[in-house]
DNA sequence: ACAGAGTATGATATACTATAGCGAGGCCGG
DNA sequence: CCGGCCTCGCTATAGTATATCATACTCTGT
C-alpha cells in the first residue's frame, strides 16, 4: 500500500494513523453496541480503510489470502455485511464496492462523490440533499427506508490538472 | 407523467397501451437521432415495459428465448446498452435491473422510488433534489457527470394496506 | 469448570450478473 | 457493386454474491 496515499492530492495524509483511528473507533462502537469486533472483522475493516477508495469484495478476499489466512467469498461477505450493519462500512452500489464510513457511530444518510479519474469516493452528509429527497418522497406518499445517492464525475484535484 | 400511469396495482392501467405508447415513442426518438430501432431492440424494450417494474437482464433473456429466438447474455446486454444510451431505459444500480424511462426524449437526471413490497420503481425528476445535489457537489469542487439516486422504501399503495 | 445456547468462521458448491472476442450477415453511401 | 460500419449470433470467461452444512468459538448461568 502506498504509505503516502493522500487521496485527493491535498496536503499530506497520515494513512497509517487514519486507518488506526478508524479501527480504534470501530472497536469502541462495537463495544458500545455489544457486538464482537473479531480479528477477522478488524482485518477486513483495516483492508477496506487501507485501500482508501472503494474496494471490491474479491479484492479484500485476495488480501486476506495474502495474509496466509484461509478465506472464501462468504468469509469476506459476512464480515462486510456485519461492518455495514454496524455502520462502519458503506457499499457503493454503482461500483459493487465497499468503503469505510467517514462518520461512524451516528446514524446518517450519506451521499458519495465518486471521481472517475482517481477512483476516490468522498462521503458527504448534506442536510439539504437529504431534505430534498425527503420532500420529494413525501410528495409521492413514499416512506424512505434506504438511500442510495452516488454522483460520479471529477473531483476537485483531478479537474485541476 | 404518463396519462395513465398509476402502476402500483391500484385501479386500472391499460398496460397494453402503455407498452405500445412506449414503443411508438421509442421508434420516433430513434428515427430522430438516426439510430436503428431494430426488431430485437424493440422486443427488448417491450419486455422491459411489460414487466412494469425493474427487470433483470437475465429475465429479459429468458423471455427472449421463450419467443423461440436464439439469444445469449450479450444479446440482451447490447440491446439494453443501446436503449440506455438513447435514453429509453434506465438501470437501477441497487437492483442490477432495468426499467423503461418514463420521460424519454429529453435529457434528464432522474431519481427512483423503489418499493420493497411491490417491487415497483417510480421515476421522479425533482428539480429540488437535482439542485441540492448540484449545490453539494459544487461545494466540494466536484463536477457531476452521472447521478444515481435510488430510494428504497414503501410506496403509497403498499403503506396503505 | 461445565453445559448449553447462540454466534462466528471454515469450506464447498452454486447462482447471479456482466463482458471479451470473433465471425457472419445486413444496411448504406459512394 | 463494393467497402465500411453496424448489428447480431455464438462461445467462452470474468466478476459478484449467496446457500448450505460443518466446526469451533464465546458467553452465560450454574
User: For A20-56, how does the pLDDT look when each residue is reduced to its tens digit (9 = 90+)?
Assistant: 999 999 999 999 999 999 999 999 999 999 998 999 9
B110 in Cβ contact with B127 (< 8 Å): no
User: What is the second-level CATH architecture of the domain A15-160?
Assistant: Orthogonal Bundle (1.10)
Q: How far apart are CA B54 and CA B46, in angstroms?
A: 13
- Residue A62 or A12, more confident: A62
Report CA A111 to chain centroid distance, whole Å: 11
CB contact under 8 A, A129 and B133: yes
Tens of pLDDT, residue by residue over A88-135, are: 999 999 999 999 999 998 878 899 999 999 999 999 999 999 999 999
Task: Tell me the mean pLDDT in the region A56-79.
Answer: 97
Task: Tell me the mean pLDDT in the region B81-94.
Answer: 97
CB contact under 8 A, A131 and B133: no
CA angle at A74 for the pair A46 and B61, rounded to the nearest 5°: 120
Protein CA B72 to sugar C1' D12 (Å): 12
Residue of B nearest to A155 (CA): B142
Strand C within 7 A of A68 CB: no
Taking contacts as CB-CB distances below 8 angstroms, the residues of chain B near A116 are: 145
Taking contacts as CB-CB distances below 8 angstroms, the residues of chain A near B129 are: 129, 132-133, 136
B100 in Cβ contact with B67 (< 8 Å): no
Amino acid at each position: 500500500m502506498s504509505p503516502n496515499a493522500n487521496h485527493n492530492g491535498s496536503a499530506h495524509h497520515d494513512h497509517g494513523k487514519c486507518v488506526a483511528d478508524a479501527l480504534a473507533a470501530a472497536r469502541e462502537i462495537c463495544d458500545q453496541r455489544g457486538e464482537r469486533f473479531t480479528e477477522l472483522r478488524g482485518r477486513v475493516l483495516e483492508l477496506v480503510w487501507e485501500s482508501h477508495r472503494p474496494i471490491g469484495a474479491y479484492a479484500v478476499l485476495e488480501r486476506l489470502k495474502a495474509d496466509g489466512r484461509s478465506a472464501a467469498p462468504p468469509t469476506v461477505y459476512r464480515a462486510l455485511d456485519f461492518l455495514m450493519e454496524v455502520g462502519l462500512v458503506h457499499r457503493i452500489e454503482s461500483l459493487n464496492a465497499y468503503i469505510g464510513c467517514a462518520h461512524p457511530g451516528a446514524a446518517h444518510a450519506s451521499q458519495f462523490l465518486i471521481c472517475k479519474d482517481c477512483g476516490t469516493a468522498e462521503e458527504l452528509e448534506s442536510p439539504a440533499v437529504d431534505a430534498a429527497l425527503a420532500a420529494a418522497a413525501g410528495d409521492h406518499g413514499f416512506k424512505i427506508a434506504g438511500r442510495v445517492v452516488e454522483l460520479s464525475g471529477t473531483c476537485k484535484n483531478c479537474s485541476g490538472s
